[in-house]
Amino acid sequence: MTRNSTLFGWAFGDPGRGNDAAYLADLQAAALRNAADTAAAKGLQILPETAVFNTVSEAETLIDGGEAGHGKLVVRCTVDVAGPGAEEVRAEGPMNG
């Protein structure tokens, strides 16, 4: 039996375009693809209907975007994953444990 768990996907963009709905939609799609790639690398599948997107900022959160996210618009996707070993995966901090 397998259980579901969650992981994060990330996308980084131009902070000057944070009010552009189409641009944000593209970043959300990129974050979901990133989550799917991360899941696949662990032998898991994402459940795309569970995706929740947040726009995060280093200035407003405790998230350290590292070199990739510094000074960028950051979109985080939290999504459920399923498959053998899914219960061992946790969306924790900026990384997936």
**Given this model, what pLDDT does residue 89 score?**
83
- Mean pLDDT for 16-21 is 92
C-alpha 94/C-alpha 81 separation (Å) is 17
Each residue's pLDDT tens digit, 84-96? 988 888 776 555 5
- The domain spans of the chain are 5-96
Each residue's pLDDT tens digit, 31-76? 999 999 999 999 999 999 999 999 886 555 545 555 555 578 889 9
Here the tokens at position 97 are 């444990």
Spatial CA neighbour of 85 closest among 45, 51, 49 = 45
Other C-beta atoms closer than 10 Å to the C-beta of 55 total 15
Read off the amino acid at residue 35: A
Question: How does residue 28 score in pLDDT terms, banded at 50, 70 and 90?
Answer: very high
67-80 per-residue burial string, b: 16 or more CB within 10 A, e: under 16: eebeebbbbbbbbb
The whole model's pTM is what? 0.81
